[in-house]
Amino acid sequence: MRRRVDRRQARRRPRHPPQRLPIGEPATMNLGLVRLVTLACTAYLLSQFYRSSVGVLAPDLMSRLSLTPEELGRLGGIFFLAFACAQLPLGVLLDRYGPRKTTSLVLVGAALGAFLFATFTEFSGLLAARALMGAGCSVGLMGSLVLFSRWVPSRRFGTMAGLVLGVGGFGGILATTPLAAASAWVGWQGVFIGMGAITLVVAMVYWLTVRDTPDGTPFQKTRIGGRDDNVLRGFLEILATRDLWFMLPISFVGYGGLLAILGLWGAPYLKDVQGLGDIDRGNVLLATAAAWNVGCILFGRADRLFDTRKWTAVGGCCGLALVIAVIALVPPVPLWLNLVLFGVLGLVGAFSVLLLAHYRALFPVRLVGRALTFTNFFNFGGVFVLQWTTGLVLSSRGGTASGAPPEAYTTAFLMIAVVLALATFAYLFARDYRPSAEIPG
């Protein structure tokens, strides 16, 4: 009789029960997690530096290489196009071989791209080097998030993602005033040679010290394409998720809207419209990047504080659209007001960390690598599209290698604000996944 009851209870169990990782000895777990977080932040710091580096160098690159705004838009955007295209194969590699091997080897590509960027002087060569950097940096955040999916419970995923985004985001700060100062000292070619060497060291340390899972937790060894886990079936399961399609538009333009300004057009705007010099422009962008770092940590905690991911993200995206519209319409203002406006831009632009936690809540751990990289394809594909299209808008409105008129920036920035508002409207139809409804841990 007892066996029959047990069998009936077994049949009632959910097919995919919530997954929790076993917790090892507290001291060992803490030390391992600290080491993991440190290297995850460092890998993401490098990615942030490379992706934002063209922004502060933009006026110098345009004048020295005689680049048009459209060409500069391509040079900035090609990083994100290559980054996006690498996401789908990257997800398969992360799920199959684990973050340690995948992250270490892919970072070597970023180092090679940095060395080549310092070597080439022709536009086509610089374009290819930026593309290689983009593909190499594609693993910086995704590898960390796949690690966290196996090291920490789902309800703490947003906090950990926010920590890596906030601390690793200092790479964006390095790509502002520090990059301008270093470029004036050793030249931008020397800077990229040095960063390439640092990237190689980080890749080696990552390979030697990172563990894919805590002690006693087996890594997923299912053969990709085998009977138990087919690549196509996994992607079809991801595509069949209803809420995914209401979230992809805000992923496509949310981070892209911020990066179009912080990573590319912020410095030219501050020169052409606000009349700021090199150091003042670098300081304004530094304030933006620093505010973004703080915002990542705050938004990472906000989902558990307010017990909602969706509505906190909605507020952040609405704030981003509003501040971009204000920047688009404001006349020349004092330096302190530029610092305030761009600081708010960075702070609210960090809302996208909540989208990562929202996506994580949609999928089981066996699909996390493919799901996060699939959505990140749209994330960084949107950066490429927005940087390129804003460059086209600036060129069509009178922009040249020497600069663009204020009305050109007004048109381009208002376009970004409008698409952000439309994406937010689509996101309203996605269901909220509250942290309190998940297994505590």
Segment 161-178 mean pLDDT: 77
- pLDDT of the residue at 21: 40
Q: Where is average pLDDT lowest: 19-33, 126-140, 407-421?
A: 19-33
Q: Report whether pLDDT(311) > 70.
A: yes
Phi, psi (degrees; rounded to nearest 5) at 114: -65, -45
Can you give the pLDDT at residue 382? 87
Running DSSP on this structure, what letter comes out for residue 32? H
Look at 28-42, 129-143, 400-414 and tell me which has the smallest mean pLDDT.
Answer: 28-42
pLDDT band at 6 (very low <50, low <70, confident <90, very high): very low
Backbone angles phi, psi at 183, to 5 degrees: -65, -40
Can you spell out the DSSP letters for 292-352?
HHHHHHHHHHHHHHHT-SHHHHHHHHHHHHHHHHHHHH--S--HHHHHHHHHHHHHHGGGH
What pLDDT is recorded for position 285?
87
Range 133-161 average pLDDT: 79
Q: In b/e form, how buried is each residue of 315-354, taking b as 16+ CB within 10 angstroms?
A: bbbebbbebbbebbeeeeeeeeebbbbbbbbbbbbbbbbb
Exposure of 8 by Cβ count < 10 A (0-12 exposed, 13-18 middle, 19+ buried)?
A: exposed
Q: Which architecture does CATH list for 34-213+240-434?
A: Up-down Bundle (1.20)
**Per-residue pLDDT averaged across 289-300, rounded?**
84
pLDDT at 196: 93
Question: What percentage of the chain exceeds 70 in pLDDT?
Answer: 87
Which of 341, 344, 313 minimizes the C-alpha distance to 328?
Answer: 341
Comparing 222 with 231, the larger pLDDT belongs to 231
**Residue range 361-368: mean pLDDT, rounded:** 77
Enumerate the domain spans of the chain. Answer: 34-213+240-434
- The dihedral sign for the CA sequence 203, 206, 209, 213: negative
Cβ neighbours, 10 Å, residue 18? 12
pLDDT single digits (tens) 269-286: 999 999 998 778 888 988
pLDDT tens column, 74-126: 887 788 888 888 887 887 888 778 888 899 999 999 999 999 998 887 888 88
Strand partners, 109: none
Find out whether 145 and 103 touch, Cβ atoms under 8 Å: no
Residue 229 — pLDDT band, cuts 50, 70, 90? low
Q: Quick check: 434 and 309 in contact, CB under 8 A?
A: yes
**Distance (Å, whole) CA 28 – CA 34:** 10
Task: Say whether pLDDT at 220 is over 80.
Answer: no
Mean pLDDT computed over every residue of the chain: 81
Residue from 142, 135, 74 nearest 109 by CA: 135
Residues 189-209 have pLDDT tens digits of 888 899 999 999 999 998 888
Can you give the pLDDT at residue 431? 87
pLDDT at 160 over 80: no
What was the pLDDT predicted at 301? 77
Pair of tokens at residue 9: 């209870």
